[in-house]
A and B are shown apart, each in its own frame.
Chain A
Amino acid sequence: MTQLDFQTLLPLTILTVWACVLLIVDLFIPKNRKGITAVLAALGLAVTLSFTILQIGRENSGYSGMVVLDGFSTFVNALILVSGLLGIALAYGYVKRMGLERGEYYTLLLFSVVGMMLMAQAADLIVVFIALELLSIPLYVLAAFSRTSAESEEAGIKYFLLGAFATGFVVYGTALVFGATGTTSLVGIVGSASNGTSSLLLTIGAALILVGFGFKVAAVPFHMWTPDVYQGAPTSVTAFMAAGAKIAGFAALLRVFATAFPTLATDLTDILWALSAVTMILGNVVAISQTNIKRMLAYSSIAHAGYILMAFVPYGNKDIMPISIAAGLFYLVSYVFTNFGAWGVVIALEKSEGKGLEIGDYAGLGRKYPALAAAMTVFMLSLIGLPPTLGLVGKFYLFRAVIAGGYTGLAIIGVVTSLVSAYYYLRVVVTMYMKDGEPTTEREPMLDFTTAFTAIVTVVVSLVPQWLFLLASNAVLKLF
């Protein structure tokens, strides 16, 4: 191991050591003081984030080409770490109120973040597999974290069984790709494929890997688990899962397909086109009939997976790919902030008996808690893609990239489904302002802060989005 290897994975190493140490330290923290664990976990994420930011501009590969460090991985890692911090902030008061306060919550969350970061840096299918499992296994446990609630356990087992099923596809796909090319490294695969050994085996392998990641990012038709898991899991876990697992899944998809399988673009573009269109349509249409806010947001997250998948459709086109990746990353940023904010409002209204999760429970919120209702309005507007929010800017860049790639039909489907989605998002806003009710909310400083912070980011960044898009444009994928 050289110093260069070490520097490539420095933030990841720090966080791994921190998580392992925290697991032991937590044993000596008294049961009623588990807030200390939360603070320590957040501190670890903050330290890691600062080291990640120091890595900006560095590009190299390490550990014999198993991992890479490039603009793309740095950008994605920073986003994942911010999601981790927001996830801890949302959980801080929530787990106490729900009687779930155990130190393992935060340790598992850190391990999951480690897996997501490794996913962004993976340059070998073996590492992709390990990262996938490292991010998934803690999430299975977190989904079932409320051990007394049958719903949470049910969510955990469903997530686990379908996640393990998806892993099977990824592993078998990797085996077939190895069979076709004789290597598992992304660089080696692309080298072997450009020698003209593009075979049926390689195509099937790539398709199986696509199926596996389709499960992870909840793309239709591999989305069946999403509503149940999102509804049953503790809400703070759902928020983290919706953001983190999506970022990591899309990062891996982008990395693997754009660097290793560009030769398969002609075969896969149509499939990705169809996946993206079906995901947008089904997610938005089924969300209309939901009355439970957690389920509605789950279908909304499926629909957003469809929008982000749009960024993949032109991945074989060398001229369009950089802006489409940048647009995809920008959309992920906007989704992360909006998502955490919206789930934060849901957490504020959730009662410990599992009540307060119907859309009807939001009636009267606008009169009684104007600030919270205003924040929720911002998030709903952002999810639709209306001004003045990040969602609009994200969709604008995304549709522009897709049209530039020559897929106007897909962009039209995107616009139409966004209009459809306005119906169910605005229904929440209408309920908050037009209907009478006596909602009660939980006031927790960390929760209020998170909701306010994400709402401000969603609005303010949308007014000056260029610098963020520039950052995303610099986040290029490198081949070593």
Chain B
Amino acid sequence: MNEWLYVLLFIVVGLIIPVGAIGVAWIISPKKPNPIKSETYECGIETVGDSWVQFKAQYYIFALVFLVFDVEAVFLFPWAVKLGQLGLYAVIEGIIFILILVAGLVYTWRKGMLEWA
């Protein structure tokens, strides 16, 4: 069970540092509260109403497109690591893969999904 000792050590150290820093600040800091200081935004405007408002659907499409492209990159990592040993064939395959992604990007762009309209 020796290897688990390291994990425990990490957890303990990871807890001590932030708790310690905040605790020390809490102990030694001077406390002089006044109404203006304890507002939510000391130098901003108070929020009005609920923060659960609808976002523009445009953001969703951005997020969805990002999601797909982001995850497809998972295939590029093993490819990039082994590229040197696999030779020309792998390079061509990689190019085809990226071309397909580019086709997707061109489609999104032509559909006007990349505009902040």
Contacts and interface: CB of A to CB of B under 8 A. Distances in A.
A212 B97 CA distance: 29
Interface in B77-93: 89
A24 B106 CA distance: 7
A83 to B, nearest CB: 25
Contacts of A23: 103, 107
Contacts of B106: 24, 27
Contact of B110 (A1, A20, A27): A27
A143 to B, nearest CB: 18
A27 B111 CA distance: 8
A23 B89 CA distance: 26
Chain B's interface: helix, strand, loop or mixed, by majority? Answer: helix
Interface string A14-53: 0000001001100100000000000000000000000000
B4 to A, nearest CB: 26
Chain A's interface: helix, strand, loop or mixed, by majority? Answer: helix
A232 B107 CA distance: 28
B103 A24 contact: yes
A134 B89 CA distance: 25
Given A27-B110, A27-B111, A1 B89 contact: yes
Interface string B87-117: 0010000000000100100110011000000
Contacts of A20: 100, 103
A4 to B, nearest CB: 15
Nearest to B102: A24
Contacts of B110: 27
Nearest to B99: A20
A173 to B, nearest CB: 23
B89 A24 contact: no
Interface of B: 89, 100, 103, 106-107, 110-111
Interface of A: 1, 20, 23-24, 27
12 contacts: A1-B89, A20-B100, A20-B103, A23-B103, A23-B107, A24-B103, A24-B106, A24-B107, A27-B106, A27-B107, A27-B110, A27-B111
Given A1-B89, A20-B103, A24-B107, 9 more contacts: A20-B100, A23-B103, A23-B107, A24-B103, A24-B106, A27-B106, A27-B107, A27-B110, A27-B111
